[in-house]
Each structure stands twice: as C-alpha cells, then as structure tokens.
Amino acid sequence: MKAITGKHTIQSEYPEILYDESRYQLGVPEALFFPESEEDIQSIVREATTKNKPITIIGAQTGITGGSIPIEGCYAISFSLMDSILRVSTNKNNDIILTCQPGITLEKIATFLSRSDHQTLPGKELLKEGSWFYPPDPTELTAQLGGTVATNASGARSFKYGATRNHTDSLSVVLASGERVSLTRTIRQTSKRAMELITEEGTVLSPPVLSIPIPQAKNAAGYHLSNEMDPIDLFIGSEGTLGIFSEIGIKLMPHPTILGGLSFFPTHTSAFTFADFLRTNASVAAIEYFDTSALHLIKESGSLLSTPIPSFPENAKSAIYWEYIETEEIPFESQEELWEENLNKSNSSFDKTWSGFDRREMLKLKAFRHAIPELINLQVASHKKNCATIRKISTDAAVPAHRFRDIFQQFTTIIAKANLEAIIFGHLGDYHLHFNIIPKSELELQSALNAYDQLMEIVIAANGTVSAEHGIGKLKKEYLNKMYGSEGIKVMKTIKSFFDPSYTLNPGNLF
C-alpha cells in the first residue's frame, strides 16, 4: 500500500487533496494513504485508532461542501487506486448488480457499460454492449462512486429515477473498530423489530431504531432515519461518518432510448409553466432550468469552453433542458402535437428548441448543461487570485411544490437587495435550484453569507431541505442544526456514537 508521510511532502506533492470544488481548505494530513483492498482500509483504521488519529476520507474532490477536506494532522485516505469493477451478478429480484470499488468514477462505469469486451470479469455473460445503464446522473462524471453514495447524490434524471439511494443494492463497510460489515438491501425494518448487523468478525451490532421528521422535499441532509428502513440506508448519505465503503453494488437498468431538447423562453414564469406540463408526463426523465444569468454567462464566457455553444434564439431569457424516454408504445412522435401546444402556451415553440434526437445532438445538449458549473468554477478561481478567501456560495435547497414560485421570488429579491449577482440553474423537476453567488471581494463574501442565512431560514420555515443532493459536509452543518433542531441532531449523534464513539471518521462533517 502506498503511504505518504510528512505534511510538507503532502502539501507540495499532493496539493489537490487539500480542497474540493468549494475551494475551502482546513489543514494538512500527517499521513496520506492509497489503499488497494479492504484489508488495507482495515489496517489504516486500526492504526489510526491505536494512535488516536482522526481519519478524513477523500474521493475525487468534486464536492462543494468541504466533506472530504482533511483536517490538520489527520490520516487521509484517498481511493484513487481502488477504482476497479469487481463482478456482475443478480439479486433476489433478478436485477443486474455491478459491484465496484469505491474509487471508480461515474465516467468509467458509463464507459464500461458501453463496451462489449469485458474480458475475464466474473458474471460478464449477464451484460450486452450498451444494453444497461446506471440511472443516477450527477453533473460531474469524474465523481467517484463512493462519494456519490456517501452523499446520496442525484442529478438531472433523478426526477424520474430517484437519487443514488434507490440504486444502491449492497455495501461492504469498514467500521471505526476496523471490523467489516456486509449489507444487502432486503426486507425493510419496522419500529417493532430491532435492527441487527453482524460483522465479518462475528460481532453482533444492534443500533437503536430511531427516526426524525423528513422534509417535504428531495433530501440529502443528515442521516436517513425512519421507523421503517433498511439498515443499508443508515450508511448511504452518511458522508463517511459511520463507516468507510470498500465495495459498492449498484443496480443497473435496461438502457432506454433517450431523446432530449433545450427549449428557450422569454421569462422565467413561462419556463416554469412549461415545467408544470412536463411533470405530468410519466415518460419525462429530466427537467433542468437555466435562468437569464446562466444564459448570460455562456454568452459572455462561452469562448473558454472546449465545445462551442451556438447563439441562442432571439429574446431567450431562460431555458429548460428536458429528456424523454421513448418506447415503442409511446414514441415521441405521438407526443409532438401536445408538446408544441404547451410550448406555445409558454411563449415558445419547437423553432425555439434545440433538439437532441440522435447521439450527436444529445452530446451537444449535455455540453450545454455541463458548461454552466464549469464556467462558474472558472470565475471563482479567477476571483480567488485577488482574494484568497473567495469561494462560491451556492444553495442546494429543495422546497415543497406549492411554495416553489413564491420562494424563488423571495430568493431573487434578497440577492438583489444585497447588490449581489447569482447564476441560477438546477433541477426544476424536483423544485431544487442552485443559486450560485460568486463574490468578488471579502466584503461581498460576507454579504453573500448573510444573504445565504436569510435564504436558508425561508427554506427551513417552508419544511424544505438545506441540502437536496450535495450533503452537509463541513460548510453547512450550522444549517443542518437549524433544520432538524437540537432534538433531531441529538438523535443523529446517538447513531454516530453507536458506530464511532471516538468520532474518528470524518470529524467535522455534519456535527
């Protein structure tokens, strides 16, 4: 196992592990490990426990909440060398399960599934080229699978298919004790049944069955705790605070025919109206929104992108990227008249829509969708040259459907009154938009943080969530506390203390 010791060496030779996409930094590890097996992870954990060293778990550093940022003097574990696909199998429901090491990227999984040559992989006969796909669709394809499971990540297609939790079938987890537990999604527990886990070493664990109120929105904030749940759900979305993943089994689905479009509108309200129509169609897989601010960013900075973006239609002030799952029973052709009618009702048309009816066109639409966060990160990096403390202040909130339009207006008003600018885009299908405030100075950073406080107060009061997909990490734990209150946090800490009484794993995350 590769191990690097010495803070100076780590800081000079591995600076990329010290921060994530938020550009937030905390400290330098005392040692950096690159495990290649479960046994390696267990040995690191046992050594850390013996020496009373905290552990920070590091993925691809694509997160934006500081969850994988190391604290000073810790042991850091990087999973970049644990990036293999281990086997293909079926579960009791005959679903196809792809078991991987946690360091594999989403991009590598997609590439693997598109190929026909799987060499000597156990279970390879279950796969056919291009016939299966992994539905979660986070924007950042370089994200590692372990990180997406740790945050219960989601993306555009989560509107139809749900978040990562829905597609995680099994986990192998190294606990803070160094023991390993294997979890497979089976029968859900109830409040009348005690939860029981047995480690590979034979230790019987009976964590308390506790629950907390669940927001009325898509949610990735804190532990998933309910009176009726599967033990595997304790660890999904736990942000590395309860255990370290060593193997992950993901459920594949037959690859559908996906068509898409990018429709442009003269106002945000007309775009929202078209989204209301899209939500009523069971064949729609994604509903993504881009505000005037996002379109302006591409228009002004698109030359920095590797893939050119065409000029927008006249009077385009907002846009919706949508995906449609086409079947023989319901081809998109049968929906065109209905689509055109609703586009017209929203002051748009097919003439103001970029189509994605073949692979080449879909890749262009994907390039547009991915361009926004890429350009935002470039802006943050540019401003950081003049002010080292600069970082993006971005909402990850989702709200109940009936409050969405009202809260959208409140958000834009608060940001405008603070003389700040926000680039707005995100998962409109789930009422989950990202308001990205990019401060240019220390003064604007403080103003942005004050505005963010006000925005989260509105979300919490509406029974929404402060994090719908990115997790809490180290940057948003104040808002997790406000969202669940002291009693809710006490319940979560009870679970944390059961599995990790010394708070060895990812200290600073959540609490």
277-327 pLDDT per residue, tens: 999 999 999 999 999 999 999 998 878 777 778 889 999 999 999 999 999
Per-residue pLDDT band for 239 (boundaries 50, 70, 90) equals very high
98-113 pLDDT per residue, tens: 999 999 999 999 999 9
- Terminal-to-terminal C-alpha distance of the chain: 31
| Per-domain boundaries in the chain | 2-78, 85-254, 257-461
Query: How far is Cα 484 from Cα 224, in angstroms, rounded to an integer?
Result: 12
- What integer best gives the mean pLDDT of the chain? 94
Between 228 and 182, the more confident residue is 182
Inter-CA distances, 121 with 35, 88, 103, 126, Å: 21, 8, 18, 11
389-426 pLDDT per residue, tens: 888 899 999 999 999 999 999 999 999 999 999 999 99
Taking every pair of Cα atoms in the chain, the longest distance, rounded to a whole number of angstroms, is: 68
Q: How far is Cα of residue 142 from the mean position of the Cα atoms in its chain? A: 12
Cα 481–Cα 486–Cα 487 angle in degrees, nearest 5: 125
Q: Are 104 and 80 in contact (CB under 8 A)?
A: no
CB atoms < 10 A from the CB of 412, how many?
16
Inter-CA distances, 303 with 1, 371, 445, Å: 43, 11, 27
The predicted structure's pLDDT at residue 133: 94
Q: Which of 22-31, 77-86, 414-423 has the lowest mean pLDDT?
A: 22-31
332-383 pLDDT per residue, tens: 999 999 999 999 999 999 999 999 998 889 988 988 888 898 899 888 888 9
Q: How far is Cα of residue 54 from the mean position of the Cα atoms in its chain? A: 25
Q: Are 72 and 25 in contact (CB under 8 A)?
A: no
Per-residue pLDDT band for 193 (boundaries 50, 70, 90) equals low
188, pLDDT greater than 70? no
Helices (DSSP H) in 195-291: which residue ranges?
A: 232-235, 268-279
CATH number of 2-78: 3.30.43.10
The predicted structure's pLDDT at residue 190: 45
Left, alpha or beta for 83 (phi > 0: left; psi -120 to 50: alpha)?
alpha
- Backbone torsions φ then ψ of 58, nearest 5 degrees: -120, 130
Per-residue pLDDT band for 455 (boundaries 50, 70, 90) equals very high
- Domain 85-254 in CATH 3.90.1150.10: no
- % pLDDT > 90, the chain: 83
The predicted structure's pLDDT at residue 310: 86
**Structure tokens belonging to residue 348:** 């748009």
8-21 pLDDT per residue, tens: 999 999 999 999 98
Superfamily of segment(s) 257-461? FAD-linked oxidases, C-terminal domain (3.40.462.10)
The predicted structure's pLDDT at residue 158: 95
Which residues, in sequence order, are CB contacts of 337 under 8 Å at separation 6+?
A: none
Dihedral angle sign, alpha carbons of residues 153, 156, 157, 159: positive
Residue with tokens 């989204």: 275
Judge residue 333's burial from the number of C-beta atoms within 10 Å of its C-beta, 0-12 exposed, 13-18 middle, 19 or more buried.
exposed
Q: Which of 122-131, 242-251, 312-321, 486-495 has the lowest mean pLDDT?
A: 122-131
The H helix count followed by the E strand count for the chain is 13, 20
What is the pLDDT averaged over residues 57-81? Answer: 97
- % pLDDT > 70, the chain: 98
The predicted structure's pLDDT at residue 359: 85
User: What DSSP assignment string belongs to 384-396?
Assistant: HTT-TT---EE-B
Left, alpha or beta for 320 (phi > 0: left; psi -120 to 50: alpha)?
beta
Q: Which of 193-197, 202-206, 384-388 has the lowest mean pLDDT?
A: 193-197
**Structure tokens belonging to residue 324:** 């449609």
28-60 pLDDT per residue, tens: 999 999 999 999 999 999 999 999 999 999 999
**Structure tokens belonging to residue 435:** 């308001």
